[in-house]
Amino acid sequence: MPFGPGGPGGPGGPGGRGRGPGGRGRGRGGPGGPGPFGRPGGWQQADLPSADDVAEWFAGRLPADWFIGDAQISVDREEIVVVGELPPVDGQGDSAAAAEGRISRFREQSRDERIAIATQAQERYGRKVSWGARIGERRELFTHLAVPVMTRLRQPERQVLDTLVDAGVARSRSEALAWAVALVGQHTETWLSDLRAKMAEVDKLRAQGPQL
């Protein structure tokens, strides 16, 4: 008896029906088949399409007159962040107000096209797309995905966060945690980059293995 495509993670009873985004189908008990994206498993522990070519895709998809050079693309499991460099305002040098105005104008004028590009990218890569722009040292993110992180902190860790809050470094424990993560990232960037590269190699090797 053929088995229909159960939805991602949607269990069904023996011989019963499994419900999921893929519709109804008769299937065995246990989790449904893999979702619509990419290969199962991988170090990301999620069924996501590969984003190895994301920089090349955006380089070909973005309008040529938007940014100076290639946009900066960063990717994680949930989000693709696209930040491009805009030309400075003529005769204004390093004026912060001029840079802010130019970035604001770009944001408004490009809104509809950015939405269309983001929709295409989300269908291709299974991730939300956030946008930003920079002029000189000024960098502004228009939209940014805030992903909740569940943590279990013991008292010593909570005391560290509370110290940062009490000292005025952060306004809340969550902001203090984000500050601490950013600080670690700054001081371990080379090591983290090497780690990501090695894990990407492991992911590729795993994907090349036999599919069960």
Per-residue pLDDT of the chain (212 residues; tens, 9 = 90+): 444 444 444 444 444 444 444 444 444 334 343 333 333 334 443 578 888 899 999 999 999 999 999 999 988 888 899 999 998 887 666 688 888 999 999 999 999 999 999 999 999 999 999 999 999 888 999 977 776 665 677 777 887 888 888 889 889 888 899 899 888 888 888 888 888 888 888 888 888 888 77
Residue 121 inside a domain? The answer is yes
**How high is the pLDDT of residue 20?**
44
Q: Which residue reads 């990218």 in tokens? A: 121
**How high is the pLDDT of residue 94?**
66
Q: Are residues 107 and 180 in the same domain?
A: no
Dihedral angle over CA of 25, 30, 34, 36, nearest 10:
40
Q: Are residues 136 and 154 in the same domain?
A: no
Residue 17 inside a domain? The answer is no
Neighbours of 20 (CB within 10 A): 21
Residues pairing with 74 in the sheet:
81
Q: Are residues 129 and 168 in the same domain?
A: no
One-letter amino acid at 154 equals R
Residue 178 inside a domain? The answer is yes
Q: Domain of 110?
A: 54-141
Which of residues 141, 163, 183 is at a domain's end? 141
Q: Are residues 109 and 66 in the same domain?
A: yes
One-letter amino acid at 150 equals M
**How high is the pLDDT of residue 158?**
80
Q: Are residues 58 and 130 in the same domain?
A: yes
Q: 201, 194 in Cβ contact below 8 A? A: no
Q: Are residues 86 and 110 in the same domain?
A: yes
Which of residues 106, 141, 176 is at a domain's end? 141
Q: 127, 143 in Cβ contact below 8 A? A: no
- pTM of the entire predicted model: 0.57
Residue 133 inside a domain? The answer is yes
Residue 30 inside a domain? The answer is no
Residues pairing with 128 in the sheet:
79
Alpha-carbon distance of 31 to 13, in angstroms, equals 10
Phi, psi of 177 (to 5 degrees): -65, -40
